[in-house]
Structure 1
Amino acid sequence: MSSASAGMFSLDASTRPSPTPQHQQSAFAAAAQAGPSSQSQQAAHAQPQQGGAPAQAGGGQPHGDGKGPKPQREMTKAERRALQESQRAAKAAQKAGGPVGAVEKPKGAAAAPAAEGRGARGGGGAQEARPSTSKPASVAAVPRTESERRQDVAAASGTAAAAASGAAAAAGGAAVDGAGAAAPKKKKDPKAVSLNSTELFAHLQQYKRVTVSSLLHQPAVGNIHPAVLQLGLRYADGSIRGANARCLAMLNAFCQVIRDYTTPEGKELSRDLLRHLNDHVNFLVVCRPLSVGMGNAIRHLKLRISTISPDMPEAEAKQELEQEIADYINVRIDSADKQLVNYAVAKVEPHGDVILTYAASHVVQRALVEAARAGKSFRVVVMDSRPEMEGRATLARLLAAGIPCTYVHLNAASYIIREVTKVFLGAAAVLSNGTVLSRAGTAAVAMMAHAHSKPVMICCETHKFNERVQLDSITHNELGDPEALAAVPGKPEVNSLEGWKEHPRLRLLNLKYDVMPAEYVTMVVTEFGMVPPTSVPVILREFRQSEQTVSGPF
């Protein structure tokens, strides 16, 4: 456009009234249709008409070179790409925790926000509605040459690349150093892992060898009764095994504790005796975790203590508690065993039965001996496994009763199961969903019998029933001595695991129990008869109702 025509355009604009926002919008629309070159020329001529309006289209903020930022319609493809890259870099830096203003906008790309773009495309109405704080432009903007635009594009590309690299460095620093308030995560040292068990069983009580010196360092050991001290040591060294044997020994020790107890001055027997009893229970837990039957007996005794009247004399209350313990032993353990044995003997055929049993169960041994005394002819397969080797005690007792036996290990289960007609197994507990908690390896025997359609009989008293639901052997279990796995009794030459503690990545796991699913159980033999696993909740509900009535040993 020549200088003469520009002068005429300026003279004509000075004599005519200023256009309305509608006229400006139509003018900008026509400029957009005409192309980038004509649009830039119209924008250059429209600035003197506004009479002091801001030269910048977005928010009136002056740019570094004194020229207003261009709308995105006037940008070339390279400028728009540079603008997008700079915006992405700014967002990445903001997410990484760095300062928002760390990323500099490109010089020629005019990184304007969406609101500024709308203001530039909306015409003068949008600019008049929003007051501007920038200085008015006194000189009309001169269109830039092609060489200047190329320089601006190169500068914008360099700025975007620097911003992207800075954002990546900020993100990497945040990940490594935890930029901001995030605490740095420490790498776990493999040597710090407990050697007693794997991390999967770290929530269980870890095995610790209990000695007299270690027990003397326990808190409040001076208040523990000597009978309970001796009982704890016998629990720890394994001289007392079996759920029934441990429960009987604990109840007899508690009888002595109650007999020697004296209520302090100003105290109530029911409250102080519960506290005193809790100290003894905690001491026994340190020596070895409680079994389900022991927990049920303790709960029953605490319920009876809490119902003692404050007006009852101390001697009478202690005598009543001792009688309560004696009744519990007689009804729930001794008499229950006799009734259970009678039901189990009835399941043994007079001739030709081959019965398989695993490890050691007092009630199973008693049932087989009674069946032999009744004149029934049968053979027993005793299955055993390391490290406890409890099946040897079962084998010795059955042979002493004149019962023909076969002794095998657990790895021969798939071979010997073909000769078996029935499977008799003991249990440490039966849970409310029908699962059976028993010696480790019992579930494998039951699974093998179930696969070969052999009936599986679980001999368990109801005082070992529990309302807990368990689907695996991880949530609740007991850890044994890991040293028992490293040594083979009678074979000192087998020492491949000798010095295993020196290897930080080697851990030995000795689980005491496993869980047998209810579908592997054919029948549960109790003192009330033979019931399916699905009837266990019914028996638990009956006992719960009888406990609430607080009448009798049930």
Structure 2
Amino acid sequence: MSEKPNQQNPKKGEPWKPKEKFDKKANKEKQKLEQEQTKTEAKQESKQEESNKIKQESNQTIQQQNIKQVQQQKKEEQPIVDKQNIVQKNEQKEQNKRQDFLSHLPIFQDYTSESIKSVKQIDPQTLHHSFVELCIQYQNGQCIGSTHRCVEFLNALKQFIKDYKLSRQSNYFAIAFVDELKKIFNLMKNFRTVNEGMSTSYLFINECLMILRRDTKLDENESKIWLCNQIDQFIQSKIISASELIIKNATQLIQEGTTILVYARSYLIENFIINYFKQGKQLTIFVVDNPQFGEGSQLVKRLQQQGISCYQILLSHVSYILSKVDKILVGASSMLCNGALVSRVGTALLACLASTHKIPFLVFCESYKFSEKSQIDSLSWNEIAQLQQVNENQQYTSLSLRYDITQSNYINMIVTEVGLIPATSVKAVIGEFKKYNYVDAIEVPRKDQ
């Protein structure tokens, strides 16, 4: 019999197998089982991922907590150190502010006769012994007061002129000595601030040298003699004669039996009181002293030597006796062109108290101390008498100034050799004296050829 066409013959060597029938139900069940297995596997994987995330988050929180605990421990261990650092930084800032605030004011060192020659502006071979002694007196406080300092400066300059010798390279004394005078004037600035009286005398001597250089042909010795005579004329005219006229004007101004208050020690006021008592007149005198400098004690000793009785009181107690005072007399380091008074520290306080109690405030001042400068406060220019750190931590600084500024509206009158003038007339007086080179017309030396 023949085989059916849909049947296939098996390959040789293979056993024959019956053909499987396709079952739809069984196939659907398998697919369901496979889907359920994949779902369960996906659920397990998601659970594992969630558990891993939870573990990671817990680990991170633990780490953050540990970091915070460490930081808190560090903060608890070093709060005092941080506060100390902040305090030190603030102190350094304040100290820098203080230094910047006072950096423009000069502070002078204490020199001896040997160390004085170590200053850069000084040539030890050419430094005259008179200036060495003068600078030491400035440092030791033996030479105080603007008038005393100016007179001693001029006397030392005279001695230097007499001993000065021209070099072989220079032919004229006036030409060579101009540079020497400038060096000397700059030298004095290393030991004390140059007051207005010294500046005026320097300008006068410089003018004399310019005239000597321009209008004469005197030899070295004759030039020295003429210049020393001009210095003597300046001392006689602007200091000695001026003080005599001021004393005369003040004697006419102050009546006998007046109660006066004097601050510290002034050359003019001291001579005025002594001359007043020599005339047989009487005054009640209160001497106010600043214990920092002790100039009032020096005036009291000087008056007691002359047999003059007086009362001494400290500056801090002045307000208790002002009701008994008729006039207040003070000296001056200089009078500025705006009418302000430069004097020893504490003068401005007395001027304010005098204005409050309506007591006349009188200033004794020679015209050669009048200045073309203008100043409204005590820190744009001043001199530091003492600046030191009180303790090791440098928490505060002890500051002591030498001068203060008294405004013109507190000054009732200025007693000068030209008369009694208001503070607003200072500028006019300066203009008048400039016409005569601060002294009478300088007599020009000439030599007949």
TM range (shorter): 0.7 to 0.9
Q: 2:137 corresponds to which residue?
A: 234
Alignment of 1:65-464 (within 5 A): 190=92, 193=95, 198-219=99-120, 220-267=123-170, 268-309=172-213, 311-351=217-257, 353-464=258-369
Match of 1:183 in 2: none
If the length of structure 1 is used for normalisation, what is the TM-score?
Answer: 0.60
Aligned AA (1:526): T
Equivalent residues in 2 for 1:431-510 (5 A)?
Answer: 431-482=336-387, 500-510=390-400
Match of 1:523 among 407, 410, 413: 413
Give the aligned partner of residue 179 of structure 1: none
Aligned amino acid, residue 381 of structure 2: H
Tell me the SS of whatever aligns to 2:415: strand
Relative contact order, higher structure (CA 8 A, sep 6+): 2
Instruction: Classify 1:280/1:193 alpha carbon distance in 2 versus 1 (closer, same or farther; 3 Å).
Output: farther
Q: Alpha carbons of 1:523 and 1:553: their partners in 2 closer, same or farther (altered >3 Å)?
A: farther
* Coordinate RMSD, CA, aligned: 2.4
Rounded to whole Å, the distance in 2 between the matches of 1:295 and 1:549 is 14
Q: Where do 5+ consecutive residues of structure 1 fail to align?
A: 1-186, 484-498
Tell whether the 8 Å contact from 1:441 to 1:514 is kept in structure 2 after alignment: yes
Structure 1 pair 395/247, CA: closer, same or farther in 2 (3 Å)?
Answer: same
Counterpart residue type for residue 326 of structure 2:
T
Task: Indicate conservation of the 8 Å contact 1:382/1:406, yes or no.
Answer: yes
Note the C-alpha offset of 1:481.
Answer: 2.8
Q: Distance in 2 between matches of 1:257 and 1:200?
A: 39
Structure 1 pair 218/434, CA: closer, same or farther in 2 (3 Å)? same
Cα deviation code 1:332-386 (max 9, x no counterpart)? 11111111111112222123x1100111111101111211222222200111112
Secondary structure (helix, strand or coil) at the match of 2:271 reads helix
CA positional deviation for 1:212: 3.0
- How many Å separate the matches in 1 of 2:252 and 2:265? 21
Aligned pair in 2 of structure 1 residues 188, 279: CA closer, same or farther (>3 Å)? farther
The Cα shift of 1:191 comes to 8.5
Q: Percent identity over the alignment?
A: 28
- 2:328 aligned counterpart, secondary structure: strand
> Displacement, 1:404?
3.3
- Per-residue CA deviation, residues 98-156 of structure 1 (Å, 9 max, x unaligned), is xxxxxxxxxxxxxxxxxxxxxxxxxxxxxxxxxxxxxxxxxxxxxxxxxxxxxxxxxxx
Q: Which structure: larger Rg?
A: 2
TM-score by length of 2: 0.74
Q: Check whether the contact 1:204–1:478 (CA below 8 A) recurs between aligned residues.
A: yes
Question: Aligned partners of 2:114 and 2:226: how far apart in 1?
Answer: 36
- Distance in 1 (alpha carbons) for counterparts of 2:439 and 2:204: 12
- In the TM superposition, what whole-angstrom CA distance separates every residue of 1:469-507 from its partner, at most 9, and x where no partner exists? 111111111111346xxxxxxxxxxxxxxx725233322
Task: Quote the Cα distance in structure 2 between the aligned partners of 1:204 and 1:228.
Answer: 24
| Alpha-carbon distance between aligned partners in 1 of 2:115 and 2:220, rounded to the nearest angstrom | 35
- 1:384·1:408 contact (CA, 8 Å) conserved in 2? yes
Distance 1:193 1:283, change over 3 A: farther
| Counterparts of 1:269 and 1:194, CA distance in 2 | 49
**Contact 2:340–2:405 under 8 Å retained in 1:** yes
Change (3 A) 1:543 1:347: same
String of CA shifts for 1:433-489, please: whole Å, max 9, x gaps.
111100100110111011111111100111111110111111111111346xxxxxx
CA distance in structure 1 between the aligned counterparts of 2:213 and 2:104, rounded to whole angstroms: 40
Moved more, 389-398 or 461-470: 389-398
Contact 1:428 1:439 in 2 (8 A): yes
Shift in Å at residue 548 of structure 1? 9.1
- Counterpart contact for 1:242–1:361, Cα < 8 Å: yes
C-alpha displacement of 1:284: 1.7
Q: Number of aligned residue pairs: give it.
A: 351
1:248-305 deviation digits (Å, cap 9, x = unpaired): 1110111111111122223243232111122222222112111111111111111111
Q: How far, CA to CA, are the matches of 1:505 and 1:212 in structure 2?
A: 35
In structure 2, list runs of 5 or more residues that go unmatched. 1-88, 445-449
Contact preservation (8 Å) 1:381, 1:406: yes
